[in-house]
Amino acid sequence: MSLSIPGETPASGAVSDRLSRPLTEGVRTSPPAGKALMPSIGIVNTALIATLLGVTVVLLPNQVALIDDANKVTNLAIVSSVTLLITLLAQPIIGAFSDRTRSRFGRRAPWMFIGLLVMAMSTVSLGSVQTIAFLVGLVTLFQLGFATISAPLAALTADRYPPERRGMVSAFIGFGLNVGYAVGVFIAGNLAANVNLAYTIFGIGAFVVGFAFILVARDSSSLDMPVKKFRWTTFLLSFWINPLKNPDFAWAFVARFLFILGYYVVFGYQFFILIDYLALDLEGANSAIAVLGLVALPPTLIGAYVTGWLSDRWHRRKPFLYAACVAMAAGFMSQYIAPTMTGQVIMVILTGIGFGMYLASDTALMTQVLPDIEGAAAKDLGILNLATGLPQALSAIVAATIITSFGGYSGLFIFATVIVIVGAIAVIPIRSVR
């Protein structure tokens, strides 16, 4: 494998002659997708998200509460924010190196394999941690591993599918995200009493499924692909995408940022909402969150699949984003109006519909606003994915501040409602996608 580092020369003379020529939309960089790839994308996303959310939504809050119950809200904010902020820049950087990787296994597989190893080893090790400081260190490695997988994985949609099929691919991605959430919180909620076993199951399971996906999604060799000469200055400057020249890219970033921030300020603290807002004990909260994950699954899948199919059929993305934001806001307000388990169930159903709809349409929209879809898809999608990672990191700090200083959990639901509606407004200026 090579990364086209300074001084590197491709083996092919014909390729060498084209080093300075940019890749264009008409250049095919990967073979068309086979029939097995789309469902495989759903399955691997299920495994990865189950691990990510099982760890961050259930197991980490349990560990944090057991280490220091009196300061659990602040400590969870520290663990979540510090680790995500450290790893945020990893995704676009890894995506950029993935775009430039030249190996007989293609551009994406080597990075996904490295990420799987890091993620699996750090996950298995988390169960033995007894201090917040060590928790921060291992969760950082865990998030780095996830970023190393997700950047090249996100680029596969642009690599292998034409625009008219990306809505259904996005639906399968949404399937993975939402089934992964249900599976992750169900397993973690039922095994929270034995965190070592839970972490081991997640770590090994994610590695096995991820490695199988690499084999199924086998790409053609990228050794003969043209690549621009590497310069660090050019490389670093490539991460700046001028919003004035690429306004649709910028608005897509803002819209996703706000939607994800609104979602995670609530669901990042769902475990503590069950304990502090709905007055459940630790065991009851673990059981409830496992059940709620299953409750959210059917509406989320329906929202994702119907949206993916209709958005491809009608060639429309934006109307579904508006509807998703409205459903999400209605869900938050239902819990605000009814601070009961019934209100929680209604919230989970409505936000599940909204989240499924949003992911199915937004993921497809993202691939249609990239400045350089062939030459820098992974890097540009990595930048757009900062709109997922950055609000996740900030959500813990924002949520902890609101909970402790501005109205508690009731204030949290109001804030989240306002933010997702503003996120819907940010979709309006996008012009290149209907």
Q: Note the pLDDT of residue 29.
A: 59
Q: Note the pLDDT of residue 119.
A: 95
The answer on pLDDT for 158 being more than 80 is no
Instruction: Classify residue 259: in a domain, yes or no.
Output: yes
Instruction: Classify residue 231: in a domain, yes or no.
Output: no
Instruction: Classify residue 226: in a domain, yes or no.
Output: no
Instruction: Classify residue 408: in a domain, yes or no.
Output: yes
Give the domain CATH number at 185.
1.20.1250.20
Q: Note the pLDDT of residue 206.
A: 95
The answer on pLDDT for 190 being more than 60 is yes
pLDDT grade, residue 415 (50/70/90)? very high
Instruction: Classify residue 225: in a domain, yes or no.
Output: no
The answer on pLDDT for 351 being more than 70 is yes
Q: Note the pLDDT of residue 216.
A: 87
Range of the domain at 375: 36-220+236-427
- SS3 for the chain is CECCCCCCCCCCHHHHCCCCCCCCCCCCCCCCCCCCHHHHHHHHHHHHHHHHHHHHHHHHHHHHHHHCHHHHHHHHHHHHHHHHHHHHCHHHHHHHHHHHCECCCCCCHHHHHHHHHHHHHHHHHHHHCCCHHHHHHHHHHHHHHHHHHHHHHHHHHHHHCCHHHHHHHHHHHHHHHHHHHHHHHHHHHHHCCCHHHHHHHHHHHHHHHHHHHHHHCCCCCCCCCCCCCCCHHHHHHCCCCCCCCCHHHHHHHHHHHHHHHHHHHHHCCHHHHHHHHCCCCHHHHHHHHHHHHHHHHHHHHHHHHHHHHHHHHHCCCHHHHHHHHHHHHHHHHHHHHCCCHHHHHHHHHHHHHHHHHHHHHHHHHHHHCCCCCCCCHHHHHHHHHHHHHHHHHHHHHHHHHHHHHCCHHHHHHHHHHHHHHHHHHHHCCCCCCC
Instruction: Classify residue 27: in a domain, yes or no.
Output: no
Q: What is the pLDDT of residues 254-298, one digit of tens each?
A: 999 999 999 989 998 898 999 999 999 988 998 999 899 889 888
Count of domains observed in the chain:
1
Instruction: Classify residue 62: in a domain, yes or no.
Output: yes
80-89, 174-183, 199-208, 266-275: the lowest-pLDDT one? 80-89
Instruction: Classify residue 18: in a domain, yes or no.
Output: no
Q: Note the pLDDT of residue 326.
A: 96
